[in-house]
Amino acid sequence: MEWSYRSAVELSAALRAGVVSSVELTEAAIARIERDDKAINAICVPDFERARAAARQADAARARGEDRPLLGIPMTVKESYNIAGLPTTWGMREFADYVPAEDAVQVARVKAAGAVVLGKTNVPVLLKDWQSFNDIYGTTGNPWDLDRTPGGSSGGSAAALAAGFGALSLGSDLAGSLRVPAHFCGIYAHKPSFGLVAARGMVPPGVPALPSEGDLAVVGPMARTARDLALLLDVMAGPDPLTHGVAYELALPPARHRRLRDFRVLVLDEHPLLPTGSAVRAAVTRVADALAADGARVERHSPLLPDLTEAATLYTRLMVSNIAAGFPAERYEQLRAAAATLDPADRGRDAEWLRASVFSHRDWIEANNRREQHRHAWRQLFAEFDAVVCPITPTPAFPHDHNPDPRRQHIDIDGTAHPYGDQMIWPGVATMPGLPATAVPAGRSPEGLPVGVQLIGPMFEDRTPLRLAELLEQRIGGFEAPGAR
């Protein structure tokens, strides 16, 4: 029997029934990787021998009567997570030989849940691209079209799932790094509410794995079905045992509704700062039509929606100031001198980036206070609606473009070139206020490429968009293997 594209839920049922062993699943996954990954290049750090040992241990545990959430399930992990004994480079050549001694907290959690880790998946340098390539491990191709990106920075994980290399994967997200690869590769991903999932050990090489929270970025699950996302999130969610976990226990509320017709949904396909390509607009419409056909309340406009233009500006300020805080002093002084020459009336994207890179603490507090006002506005909106459906990026997967100067990179939206960096605008709708967002497949482009949408839900009500994703999967279909049609 072919197991490569079975869901984790299906594999767990087969393992419990004794239809298959973890050793058999693991060997099948390894054989598929060895056969197909030479072309795709998703698995940059294989760990096959330890995976085989873990599979044997899983089968022995099941024989003793154990039954953990992921027991015996083969999966992959994004390269940026520390795994003891394997290199963590974040694509930086100077760290090619860096090997951490301790697992990231999420790696430890999936192992404790019984998962079999097949290896690590490829990323862009410093996780800063919607492509996945670096000088150490090379370029990862999209299984739907190897000449196109699988997305980034969790592109290797998305490509691995689309290619059948394991049932689950761990990713992360700051500017859409879970959701964009899911959209480009036709899989599912969930950006959790900010603060819901501990991220210790998902750090650049050489940086201490401390239980501290940065801003905006989260870690989260990737899978081929909505139910598998929920399964993996349940393993991942919860505070760090070194900090909040000392006193707090997780108690996520249930989804607001169980039936599609009970949902109240706001649908967006336009942003004031960026056009939406026709293929993505069609996918949003397909989801909206399916919701309406099943009796859900669907609205296209609401006065409760926070100002998307201001939200994008706040997102830029918060994200860039966070990144720039790690710049060397000399570079910071250069940026500060350049920012001093800006025209105060210049509110263009480049000017906002430059100002944000030299934010004072006072500036950051002001931006954060505005964010809290946006969060309050979202709470008011989610008293009226249960979820927001909107694009993830304006286009399907684009061809590889490794120009080292991002100012010379562009994204083609229905024949018109737009700045490459503008692809962060739609992911930022959920990221800036810290809302949960589930990426779901929503059809194909005219060229046959996957197209997805994101379902944004109320903060710390992650089960609501996940449940909506599961219902939509039943209604319009979900993952399809590349070349299935």
295: left (phi over 0), alpha (psi -120 to 50) or beta: left
pLDDT band at 407 (very low <50, low <70, confident <90, very high): confident
Q: What is the mean pLDDT of residues 441-463?
A: 98
| Residue 237 in tokens | 């969610």
Cα dihedral value 178, 181, 183, 188, nearest 10: -50
Extract the runs of DSSP E, i.e. beta strands, from 95-234: 116-121, 133-134, 138-139, 168-173, 188-191, 218-223
pLDDT digits (tens, 9 = 90+) for 233-245: 999 999 999 999 9
Helix (H, G, I), strand (E, B) or coil at 236: helix
Angle between helices 105-112 and 226-236 (to 10 degrees): 110
87-126 pLDDT tens trace: 999 999 999 999 999 999 999 999 999 999 999 999 999 9
- Quote the CA–CA distance of 285 and 394 in Å, as a whole number: 14
Radius of gyration of the chain (CA): 21
Decide: 222 and 161 in contact? Cβ < 8 Å. yes
Going from the C-alpha of 21 to that of each of 11, 50, 76, 200, the distances in angstroms are 10, 16, 18, 32
Element (H, E) at 77: strand 74-78
Closest CA relative to residue 48, chosen from 65, 31, 62: 31
CA atoms within 13 A of residue 17's CA, in its CB half-sphere: 8
CA pair distance 133, 140, nearest whole angstrom: 6
Average pLDDT, the chain: 97
Reading the block at residue 162, the tokens are 């689309």
Strand partners, 33: none
| Distance (Å, whole) CA 167 – CA 296 | 31
Q: Are 449 and 397 in contact (CB under 8 A)?
A: yes
Neighbouring-strand partners of residue 410 = 419
Kindly list the catalytic residues: 78, 153, 177
Percent of the chain with pLDDT over 70: 99
- DSSP letters of 32-96? HHHHHHHHH--EEEE-HHHHHHHHHHHHHHHHTT---TTTT-EEEEETTS--TTS---TT-GGGT
Share of the chain above pLDDT 90, in %: 96
- The band of 1, judged by pLDDT with boundaries at 50, 70 and 90, is low
Strand partners, 145: 142
Q: Give me the mean pLDDT over the 256-280 stretch.
A: 98
Buried b (16+ CB within 10 A) or exposed e, 263-274: bbbbbbbebeeb
388 SS3 class: strand
Q: What is the pLDDT of residues 120-173, one digit of tens each?
A: 999 999 999 999 999 999 999 999 999 999 999 999 999 999 999 999 999 999
Return the CATH architecture of domain 8-259+461-474.
Alpha-Beta Complex (3.90)
The number of helix segments (H) and strand segments (E) in the chain equals: 14, 15
Q: What value does the mean pLDDT take over residues 455-467?
A: 98
User: Prior bond to 153 cis, omega within 30?
Assistant: yes
Lowest mean pLDDT among 315-319, 326-330, 432-436: 326-330
438 pLDDT band, cuts 50/70/90, is very high
H/E stretch holding 125: none
Under DSSP, the state recorded for 446 is T
Query: Cα separation of 269 and 272, whole Å?
Result: 10
The residue extents of the domains of the chain are 8-259+461-474, 308-371
Which residues, at least 6 apart from 467, have a Cβ–Cβ distance to it below 8 Å? 255, 256, 257, 258
